Amino acid sequence: MLHKLRLTLEMIKFEHSVFALPFALTGAALAVRADGFRTAGMAGKILWIVVAMVCVRSAAMAFNRIIDQRIDARNPRTRMRHIPAGILSVRFAWGFAVAACAGFLFAAGQLNRLCLLLAPAALAVVLFYSLTKRFTSLSHLVLGFALGIAPAAAWIAIRGSLDPRILWLTAAVMFWTAGFDIIYACQDLEFDREEGLYSIPRLLGIGNALWVSRLFHVAMLMCLIVLVREFALGWVAWSGIATVAALLTWEQSLVKAGDLSRVNAAFFTVNGYVSVLFFVFWCADIILFRSSCTQCNL
């Protein structure tokens, strides 16, 4: 059982939870700041936010691998994934996915009533993404929205209600994710054409798709700028945006229409830096804000 669980975590790229989790925690930190740092039971809430995030992403990835098993088996790039290669059974993957869904719903219930009520809708969105490449080229944005729910959900977990301002962070994550997913999808252009699957690279070609990816990343930065102004954040948060902008510029420079050899570096390495460093900078700004408020009170 432990061996199968390890294989399942390999299959779903468990370590890539780092992509969305820092943005969720940033949403939680902004909610605590907006609450005047008076949030009760903070440690417990953060714990259940992390559990919910890990569970829902795990459920979505396992579901994706299950329903795409035949497609993956025909794709030279993915045919050695665990299910098409026979390393892991579909039955065990289904069991893992159901358990992850149950874990997500349980964690949502530990947060507050609104989180529990909205949890089925959030789960439906993240599972629905896996179907979208069969009928729309906008599947990249659907994936982005699925990840973008995280900071808004974390806000609700802390405050028990939704502040529309946090939706700027949802939009930022959506455009960031869609941008790097387009880059990743460039690898499968010919396969998507043969299989009748939809993507921006298939619709526009690799060169134009990369320009769309760049526009999405610019849109992310614009959303972050609005978010800083809405929450009146300080210079450290602005430095975080500058760092993200530099990393996205680096990511875009790694991939050219005639050279996709560094897609994995652009997709996995750079985006890990983006999410973690964004969280570090913005949390540092929030901590400095709290310190200045404490000194003013003294």
In a domain, 260, yes or no: yes
Q: How many domains in the chain?
A: 1
Q: Are 217 and 253 in contact (CB under 8 A)?
A: no
Q: What is the pLDDT of residue 290?
A: 72
Residue among 4, 52, 18 at smallest CA distance from 276: 18
pTM, whole model, 2 decimals? 0.94
In a domain, 27, yes or no: yes
- DSSP E strand boundaries for 117-257: none
In a domain, 156, yes or no: yes
In a domain, 145, yes or no: yes
Q: Are 18 and 275 in contact (CB under 8 A)?
A: yes
Q: What is the pLDDT of residue 298?
A: 44
pLDDT averages per 10-residue partition of the chain, 298 residues:
84 79 94 87 93 94 95 93 92 95 97 96 96 96 96 96 96 97 95 96 96 98 97 95 96 92 84 93 89 54
> Given CA atoms 74, 77, 79, 82 in this order, what sign does their dihedral have?
negative
Domain with 277, as residue range(s), is 2-293
In a domain, 298, yes or no: no
In a domain, 53, yes or no: yes
In a domain, 206, yes or no: yes
Q: Which two tokens stand for residue 177?
A: 């994710």
Q: What is the pLDDT of residue 107?
A: 97
Query: Counting Cβ atoms within 10 Å, is residue 294 exposed (0-12), middle (13-18) or buried (19+)?
Result: exposed
Residue among 266, 134, 125, 131 at smallest CA distance from 202: 134
In a domain, 128, yes or no: yes
CATH of the domain at 194: 1.10.357.140
Q: What is the pLDDT of residue 288?
A: 87
Separation between Cα atoms, residue 246 and residue 241, nearest integer Å: 9
